Structure 1
Amino acid sequence: MATTSDEQAAGQHYLVCGIQDCQRNGQFYCNDCHQPMCEQCKDEHRKSPNNKNHDIVLYRQRKHRLPIEKCKLHPTKNVDIFCRECNTPLCLKCFLGKEHKGHEFDDLEEIYAEKFALWQSEFSKIQKIFLPTSEGLKTDIKRDVKEIKKIMESIRTSMKAEAESLKHLVDEVTSKKIKHTHTMEKSLLQMLKSQETTYNDYIKYLGKMSEKFQEYLSTTNQKLLSSQILKLKTIPETSKPVPPVFTVGQFNRDNVAKLLGGVNVPNTEPEKRKIQPMQAVSTPMKFTEKQMEQSKEKSDMKPTLSLSSSVTKVREYSVAGVDNAYHVSADKSGRLWVSDASGNLVQTDLQGKLLQEIQTSGTTDGFHTATQEGGLIYTDKDEKKIYRITPDRKITEFIKTEDWRPISIHSSRINGDILVGMYKNREVRVTRYNKTGKEIQNIQRDNQGQELFDYPHYITENINGDICTSDWNKRAVVVVNKSGQHRFSYTGQGSKFYPYGICTDVLGYILVCDSDSNTVHLLDQDGGFLSIILSEQQGIEYPYGVCVDDENNIYVGQNTTNTVTVYKYLE
């Protein structure tokens, strides 16, 4: 269960008025009496002449009460005065003493309230700016670690591939040169074989000539003298082959290194990590009751809105074409989109007239969302696609989610981005697309690598950029900041919590349906429980769908009926 403010007692549905036995919502605070008040008691309080100058403000703009501290000189007295001259806190007895006569004094409670607001502002900076930003930078660094490891492994793979290529070239050239030596050897051996044949023929010739000479030498002298002298052929001349000589290649380690690629860090200035501009977290402005009333009369601006002391039913829609109202989306024109558990998605006008009817694969999920342009976007988890409906009712395929099944969707009121809760096998994530349908962010795990979501079947975005999901399997509202860092999880006010529809309003409040207790819970943007804003007392039974329109009205759809009820809760 999310932690609430220390002023709320355990189990309270809202800040209780501090006047006697009044149990209404104490949304105002008297800084002089230091107690919360409802609107009725506030008005009664101001009627008393003794209280006419009391400083009454909205509860969140209250001054924090000065802690009780005893005077060191007068232990029975409380310290509540500050001496400017001596720069020290005093009790009333010290104040009346001679030591501080003629000095200038301040109300210590005023100083404490200012200091408290200042320190609270600094603490808020830590919680809302510095910590989330630092966590985001840590995530960037972890992402960079993975990227560097991936790049270095890729470089090593490239180096090995290049070395293998060079080895292949060396083997190829060496093989070609060795083949050439075989050709040279063959040519030289053929030459020597030819010379051998020449001498074999010459030796045969000499044998024949030797036989002739023997023949002549064995005859009579008369025949020898009359015969012509035989002439011998000279010995054939041949040449010795010139053997090839191997010339050692001229290379060394540096030559090889130059042939292969190298790794160098570019001589460029490292890019600074992007840190979001620090938006000043100002201390709450101090408004008197009179100023609040004047402001309300002069302007109808949204920042002047606050929680009403009661919730009022405005109207009801009996929506044709659906059996129940599991999800509700209100567009800019006031027209309503409603879907049921059978995948029927219908559009109705302000009078309840059916304008459009579509059959989808959606069931009990928040699978459609109104856009800033007045159209609608819806998911089809079976086809793994997201469709867009223009204001003129033309339906087109918008985004393919590949292997992921989209179950919930929200169109941002801040920048038009599209947030989609989706799953694949046992993996679950929230994906952010821009207006054109380009995937720009995936949120799946926290800093410890744990899965953030289990089944985010409803999704929305708060005014500070937080992504709020209603996670059925976790039985929780799971909220992450716009960087994807987990901020808090809200698990209801009892032993059971079955969250369905979820939405946020212009004040940053989070509204979520709990089908187990037949209620709609109101949370602040830090997950603090504020109140049960709707319950069975207002006729709510099994609330599943909820949204807020541009007029700050709540639309609630239920499981047991096709009626959508509209309530007013801000003023």
Structure 2
Amino acid sequence: MDPRTSCQDVMRCDLCETAVVQMHCDTCLVNLCKACVGEHFSADLSKPHKIVDFKDKNSTPFYPGCTFHDKERCKMYCRYCNIPVCTKCISSDQHLGHRFSEICEILDERKDKLSRDQTELNEVMYPTYQDIASDVQHRMNQLENEYGDLSTAITKHGEDWHVEIDKLVKNLQVEVNEMKNTQIQTLQKHLDEINNTIVEIKEEINSIDKSLTSHDTSKLFSTTFNADKYSQLPHKIVVSTPTFTQGRINEQQLGKLFGTLSSTSLSSEEKGYSMKTTKKSPEAGSSPPVKQLLDEPETVTTINTGYEYLYNVACLSDEEIWTSGDDSTKKLFSINQGSLLKTITTKSGDRPSDIAVTKSGDLVYTDFNGRTVNIVKNEKIEEVIRLQNWSPKGVCSSSSGDLLVIMYSDDDKQTKVVRYSVSTKKQSIQFDSKGKPLYSSGPYYRHIIENRNLDICVTDSKVGAVVVVTQVGKMRFRYTGYTPKNKLYAFCPQGITTDSQSHILTADYYNDCVHIIDQDGQFLRYLDGGLSEPRGLCTDTYDNLFVARWRNKHVNKIKYLQ
């Protein structure tokens, strides 16, 4: 047998078709022996051939070809136009002033998105439909049992009657079976539709699996997942069994007296099922009403805080706000009157790095130089956390009542977020799944907030990013700004807050505006105009935004949602 046609033969060179494969061109996807490498290079000198050992094939990303420039590969991605671009595209006027990222970074983001979609399919959609199918099957079994009990009752009652009523018994049994079959058939059809959806979800999962393991970037761009298709759950079919009413024997009214069946009910409840979730959110029981962004945001009121430099603002209630600036005081103001209600001075005499309000309404602040986190209760300051080898910066109170604290190591080489229950450390968030730091190092301005979906959002001004992780610390996305031509400076996020719509709002200090993005990191709009040097942010229960402006010394109350 010719070994080259044997099913156990080794792979051969694509050029000479004789020698054993030793090398591989990741550019052309061609298998080569060492002797044919030179011939492959000379065959097409216009390409930057990437020759690797055969065992390392497909290690080089296959960049997509440029649609505007022949023979050019797109190694970058224009975030403004949302398209892959080559080096010639970048230097053209078409992308002047646009912001670019390496396409590998975009592919990683795409993989993360598909991975989250896959997680949603695996952990939410698939088990939800499995539960629905199990519920329908359970109710079918219940129907069988209940209809069995109904038949037994009719039969037992029929035994007490004379043979003359056997025909009537038979007729009623037929009627019972028809009722049962009608309901069973309806539920069976409903179950078949649900099982078909489960099969579709499994196919979606398999499709995403193939895309995530493929080296073909086009598959990553072409693979999509429409969550709305499965988020609209099927109607719940509600059935009830008839009851049997016995009657006394009477030859004149035999049919009525023997007993009759009540009518059945078969209806559909649009919201009979709920989506399965692995999170226990305080908002799980009720969703907030949908609010749209106003076309023209309105400044409702302005409060003069009197600081030389204003840093932070935190809502105590819809009528009062706490502020902190460049001195050791924390001031409580009436929002409507603009009047100073109370002043608290830090124990150390240093200015607070950040302030927040707990669920119970107490003021909490961080003392960077003193390495402490403190709570003000009844105008008395209690030290709840004292750090060693670390210094606290940003702080917020979570929906569970825990404190989330951003801190830096003394050598300025590490940054992390730590969750505390009172003074007990519960969680540390510092690295991503690959062991790389989530946050840049050094004592730069960073603020923190928890979103309604329990994501933890941190501003990292050193690298110009908002870093968002899940409740357990898994990386979700990194928002690095959206800068049209009228914005002159790089994105520099400072204060951060969220609202009832799970929007994330962050102050862009140098560009004199506030960015609004959705909970998945998509840019929605700016709030600008009269917001010079914004620092601290917070929102009240009515989704009014409060902006602390640094040298302006004022806090602006802004209505931006309907």
TM-score by length of 1: 0.46
Greater per-residue strand proportion: 2
The structure with more radius of gyration: 1
